[in-house]
Amino acid sequence: MSKIAKVDQRVKECLEEAGYEKWARCHSPINRGRMMTSNIAECINGCLVEARKLPILSFLEEVRILFTAWNCKNNEIASYTNTTLGRRFEEILTLNRVKALRMTVEPAGSYLYCVYDSERRYIIDIERGTYNCGRPHTIVKIYELPIVLMPDKKD
């Protein structure tokens, strides 16, 4: 605030009058703009201090192992969480579950899968992160897809 006061005292007074919680993330009572107040990059860097000394491929393997371990741990924690989604999202999941029951998935290679839905066939390439959406010469990135739950083979 002293630096701001050196530039313009009126700005400092205006900010103080508005209240720190309205403009400073560290004083905000809520998570504004989906920005975490803790720095995840610093956490990752701290976990990879020793791995940085390794050759690039070994370093990337260490990163993969770290993220896989975190993902498994978080997945296990989340599996015990019994919260309900909002009504809108529950309806979307129910609709996706019904759609998924009509689909069949067949492996076509190490990273290729064919998904059959009624008369349509989708080819999904996990390695490239793409799929053809049933139209010739059309490739879409997988992250652009809506989430569809696949049925459990045990059922």
Which of the two residues, 83 and 97, has the higher pLDDT score? 97
Which of 85, 107, 109 lies closest to 97 in space, CA to CA? 85
Domain boundary assignment for the chain: 2-79, 87-144
DSSP string, 101-113: HTEEEEE-SSSEE
Percent of the chain residues past pLDDT 90, beyond the cut: 6
Which of 107, 106, 105 lies closest to 149 in space, CA to CA? 105
Interval 21-63: pLDDT, tens: 777 766 766 655 555 546 777 788 888 889 988 888 888 899 9
CA-angle at 100, arms to 98 and 102, nearest 5°: 80
Instruction: With beta carbons less than 8 A apart as the criterion, state whether 94 and 149 touch.
Output: no
